[in-house]
Amino acid sequence: MGYPAEAPTKEAELARQLWSIARDFAPAVLASSLSAEDMVLTDAIAREGLPIGMFVLDTGRLHGDTLALVERIRTRYGLDPEVFHPDPVAVVHYVRENGRDAFYRDAELRQRCCEIRKVKPLRRALAERRAWITGLRREHSAARSGLPAREHDHVHGLEKFNPLASWSEDEVWSYLRRFEVPYNPLYDQGYRSIGCAPCTRPVVAGEDVRAGRWWWEAASKKECGLHVAAEPAGAR
């Protein structure tokens, strides 16, 4: 299908990057959180007919509106995202020891919950891959302001690509509207960054994009462990 001949430069560049990843780093995979950014990438991969896989981490605490997008991807694009779940024994042990919502009490308990529900399933999802693709953008937070388009993930031992690193929030939404891409209806209720239901709230005017994530913690700690500091490409 591809993009129209009058496609904006960023759309053409996105297609070029994804083609390059598919050609040079197979098997590559999109790690989709079902965010607005990841829906842009899903549409681009489907539009170009690229052999790039896709997976979703179902933490067991996602909003119903978020999970509903998996079926919409299947229906709209004919793609079948692989869904990874946390180890149920580890989840039960955590809840019994600490309580279902213990993460509100302590940052370490929150990070442990993320480790069980997200980080460990990610390791399984990336096994035997040569590259993974994310929807991270520099505008998301001050901590991501220096995000490169490509980096080496030394934790998982593969290349990591952030094709939307330089995109603005307006450009993401312009793409979604231009191509009528499905997106999470929670965005229409004031959410701007959507994770697990108990750890996400809408934001108010003037707040940062990720202000609604783990809002009870210091802004400098607002990461779950999925995206750790990586080496610039070629630094090895």
The pLDDT tens digits of the residues spanning 219-228 come to 766 666 676 5
Give CA separation, 194 vs 34, 144, 214, in Å: 9, 17, 11
More confident residue, 172 or 144: 172
Long-range contacts of 72-78, Cβ-Cβ distance < 8 Å, separation of 24 or more: 72/182, 73/42, 73/182, 76/46, 76/182, 77/42, 77/43, 77/46, 78/46
Residue 4 domain flag: no
C-alpha 63/C-alpha 40 separation (Å) is 20
Residue 170 domain flag: yes
Q: Which among 113, 114, 196, 224 is annotated as catalytic?
A: 224
C-alpha 204/C-alpha 209 separation (Å) is 10
Residue 189 domain flag: yes
49 φ, ψ (degrees, to nearest 5): 60, 40
161 DSSP β-pair partners = 133, 150
74 DSSP β-pair partners = none
Question: pLDDT tens across 112-128, in order?
Answer: 999 999 999 999 999 99
Average pLDDT over residues 144-159: 92
**Domain range holding 137?**
9-232
Average pLDDT over residues 128-152: 90
Residue 69 domain flag: yes
C-alpha 59/C-alpha 42 separation (Å) is 20
Is pLDDT above 80 for 48? Answer: yes
Residue 3 domain flag: no
**Structural domain tally of the chain?**
1
Is pLDDT above 80 for 7? Answer: no
Residue 169 domain flag: yes
Residue 1 domain flag: no
Tokens for 78, please give them: 């004919």
Query: Please, which residues have CB within 8 angstroms of residue 29's CB and are 6 or more apart in sequence?
Result: 52, 53, 54, 55, 125, 126, 129, 131, 132, 133
Residue 2 domain flag: no
Is 224 part of the annotated catalytic residue set? Answer: yes
82 DSSP β-pair partners = 55
pLDDT value of residue 171: 96
Is pLDDT above 60 for 100? Answer: yes
Residue 225 CB neighbours (<10 A): 14
**What's the first-to-final CA gap in the chain, in angstroms?**
38
The CATH number of the domain holding residue 179 is 3.40.50.620
